[in-house]
Each structure stands twice: as C-alpha cells, then as structure tokens.
Structure 1
Amino acid sequence: MKPFNDPPWRELFDRIPLGLLVLDFSKEQIVYSNPAMEMLLHSIQPISYPRVKEIFVPANRPDPENIPLRQTVPLDEKKIGFTVYSPTPGFWLLLANEISEKDRQEQIIATTNVMSTIDYTFFSLAHEMGNPINSIKMTLEVLINNFKEYDTKTKLEYLGNLHAEFSRLEELLQAIKSFNMFEHLTGKATSIQPLLDNLLQLLKNEIESKGIALNFLYPEQPLWCQSDPRALQQSLLNILSNAIDALEGRADPIITIEVGQTAREATIAIRDNGCGIADEKKKELFMPFSSSKPRGIGLGLAIVKKLLAQMNGTVEINSRHHQGTEVLISLPLASTHEH
C-alpha cells in the first residue's frame, strides 16, 4: 500500500473529509490513518492496531465480500458508520465517519464517491506507469539478447527508445509532483487583467506560431478577486494550454477571454472553437489521469479544480464536440479596501 505514504497521494488522502484507515493484518499494524479518522478516534489516543482491531474487526474476521456494505459501531457517545474494502490481500481499508439516521444515505453516497475516485486514481496510475515500464523491459530484453549481433546504429536506436520511455516516466512523476506544488496558498487581492496579460506574454510565441487569434472582453474598470496569484496563474495556464491544444488543425482558431463579475464573484471565461469534448469523456474531466491527448498526463484539470477549491472558487466546463469549449472560473471578489 505504498501510495498512502507517497507525499502527493498522502496529501490527497489527508484532505478527504471521511476517516480513512488502512490495516495490514500480516504485520498487525496500521499502515495509514488520515486526520479525519484521528478526529473520530481522538478518545482512544494513541491510536493502536489492537484497539482499532477491537473496535472495527470482528473476532472471526470474514472476507470483506461477506461483510455488510455499511456497518455502525458505538464509540463513546457517538455512532460511527464505516465501510470495509480489501484493495490488496491482507489489507483492509476502512472509511468511517460519525453518522445519524438523518444523514445516513448522504454518507453512503459520499463514501461511494470517494472510493470511486480512489479506485479510478490507482487504476489510472498503474496504467500510465505500466506502459513505459513494460516498454522499457521489453526493449532491454531484446537489446541484451542481441547485444553482440547488433551494430552500433541499431544499439543507439534501442537506447534512444529507452531514453524516450524514461522521459515519459519522468514527465509523469513531475506531473504528480505538480499536483502538490502549492501546498500553502495565500489569498490576497489580485488584479485579474494584468495577471492574464503577463500569462499571455509567456504564451505569445506559441499562440502566434499556431496562428491563433485572441479576443479580449475586459470590463472598463480593473477587476480584483481574492486569490493566490501563483495558483490562479497556474490554473489559467493549464486551461489556456488545453485550449491551444484543442485548436490544432482548425482553419480559424480563436480564443476568447472574458472577464466579468456577479454580485459576489469575479468570473473568467475562456472559450475556444476547437475540437470540443465528447459526451462520454465529460464525466471524467476532473478525474486524475484522464486525458484525451495521445501524450497527455491528465492532471491539468484535476490541479485546476483542486487549486480553485482551496481559493474558495469554482470551475465549470461547457463543451460541444467538434464545436468548442468554454471554461468558466469563479472567485470571490476582493473588497474595495483590500486594493
């Protein structure tokens, strides 16, 4: 269960509002417990394997498949609802929270959604890393078995293929690291237009080389939002990069950037007339490692959603296949005395 101790994944699991606990029965130890679980079990500090086993695990431990989907256990004056999963033989993963009869159904739905995200993330990570690893393994086997027979040119070709696959792994690991790039955000009044102008200056050469037209719809007066400027710039960069990629091969590529506001929020809309998103892909847009690009990692929008949530913002995507996409960001307006 290594992912629970890897920093990017640990940070993700630490933020899950449900209590999460992983038990290793072979070593009789707790592999991981997140802050939400420690809050639930604060009355039995320090949290130990024997005590946790006594609370959650029956004496005649059955297979998780034979355990009811949702169980409850009394703890002090609370009622703890928990669900047991077995992601790997010998391990149990427990999701738990304090429940009442009134919100029981809502908690079941929340648990299911969390597990779906975890399952999807692990499956996608294994797939993304498995492809280059398998390619490296096969290439090395062929090269080793035929090393004496191959001439220098052929050997260099195989080494070049190995280098490309290692670069792919490096790119993947860098993307995972970027998911945890901004650990601590600092909210402050941020002028939106200058931030956008600076970002577009960085992308100027790429935009011009691809013949992409830009259309700006800015308000007459500067608009300020409450955000972490670095995180907002990274979010906008990810969105604009997607828009640029989506315009590949279009006869009249154009990106429109519109800045506006509602009563309490500043809004930034980025529209393109690119390839759009197929209906079957829309439900996976913000899932980690979900990408329609041949060489895409699929963490860009997941990072955007995470950063905006940390800034009390939201992101919405409206897209029509073969017609274009609109991404709408909303952030709290900065009060007038802050700028």
Structure 2
Amino acid sequence: MNTSLNNSDRYCPFSKEPCHRICIYANILENISLGLIAFDTEEKTVIFQNKTAINMFQTITPKDYKALSATLFPEKMENIQTGDIPSPKTLRYGGRLLGYSIYTVSNRYLWILISDITDKARLESIAEAANMMNNIGYIFFGIRHEISNPLNSLKMALSVLQKNINQYSSTDILEFLDRAQIDISRMEYLLKSLKSLNMFEKLHICNVDLPSFMRKFFSLVKNDFEKRNIKIKTIFSPEVKYARIDPGTLQQVMLNIMINAYDALKDSERPEIVVTMKKGE
C-alpha cells in the first residue's frame, strides 16, 4: 500500500529523484537486521545505507563513500567484475566480526550485504576448543594408563632387587637393571607424547620409523577402544619403513583420525577400524 508523504524533502534511497510516495520495499530494507549498503561507482556515492549498516559502522559518517569503500574494499573496487560470484568476506571492526558479500548489480552499482557474525564465530571457537579438550582427554587417559604399567613394573623390580641384593649374582642384578631401563624408556616416550600437545612446540622434522611409531601410538589408545569393543586392525606393508615428518604432528593427526572413527562407530554392531600403511606410487 502506498501513502503520500507529508515531507516533500524525502528522496528515494535508490535514486536522486524526490519520492512523493512511501516505498514499502525501501522501508523494509531500512529496518531489517541485515546491513545493506549500495554504492554508485560512477558518481562515487553511497545511494543507500540502512540503519543496521549505520550502527555497524558508528565511527564512519553515514553514506561516506570514501571511508566505507576503503573499509569494505581493501583491494581496489575497480577489480570487482560484473557477474562475479559473491564470495563471503570477513572484517573486524569496532571489536566485532562482520561477514559480508558483494553483489554486482551492473557495471555501475554494487550491493553489500553485511551480518554481525561475532557470536557465531565465538560459538564455533568454543566448539573447536571443546573438541580439542576431548582429544587431549583421550590421550591423557591413555598415557595415564600406560605410565602406570611400567611404573608398577619398575617399583616391583626395584623392591625385589632391594630385598635380595645380597643373594643375587651380578648377572641377576644386571637383568633387573636392564628391565628397569626398558620401563624408564617407555615412560620417557610417554612424557614426550605429552610435550607434543604443545601448540607452540617447534617442528622437528626427522626420519621416523613408521611401524615402530604406529605400534607405540596404538598402545596409547587401545584401552578406550577395547572398552567399546572396537577392534583395531593394522596392515603395514613391509616396503614402508621411514618417513621424514614431525613425530608430534603425526601423533596429533592420528589422534584426530582415531577419535573421529571412534565417534563414527558409535551405533555399529561390529565396530572395526582398519589402518593400512603402504608406499605411495
């Protein structure tokens, strides 16, 4: 429905002509929660900026062509071609994260649709952090369990050796010490696994014995999978021996893959994970 305006100075937001009747669609666009800005690239003017867009850029004078174009087009506006598929862009402004897309109406006019995605981005960050904490929880549980085994074995061996030190021969004592050294080496590896969770740790590219690495890795996670009756089957080609890679990064990648597989098999009747390692062509 159109109604005559009392204010003769009102202009249509899409042209420079006086608007003698209220434009219903313009009023809708003026008050929606999506930010809208229309540029006239020939006359270098902003022909429309709704209330939401004005509130988003409070430090910029409304319809300030130069300031708005410099903010929204870090690249040159002339590089935007008519018919280009709108690609989402992001911009941090005034402590908020804005997402926007550019639509080319013609060689002359550009429409910018803007959304405040700060809360959405925050929720995604929280979800990502929660996922990371779950991953860390899995590996910490596995490491805790695996450390207890060599630690208990070491305590028992040293206790027996202490009680019988005068009765044992030097050969028997060396056997106990060798066993203790193996347990200590095992715990040392597990502690290095904890260190690899540090995101600020520098990469250490080296030759990694992949079969040995995989055997140690699966020993960390097997307990969680066994509780869910998930079988882990490994098929390692004898051709595969070494790879140049950062062990900590490889461990985190494998951990993510295994956790995703763990979750995917939640409702499976006969859950099984098959890990194949073969030489690439």
Indicate the TM-score class for this superposition, using the shorter chain for normalisation.
0.3 to 0.5
TM-score by length of 2: 0.37
The higher radius of gyration belongs to 2
Normalized against structure 1, the TM-score is what? Answer: 0.31
**Structure showing greater relative contact order (alpha-carbon pairs closer than 8 Å, 6 or more residues apart):** 1
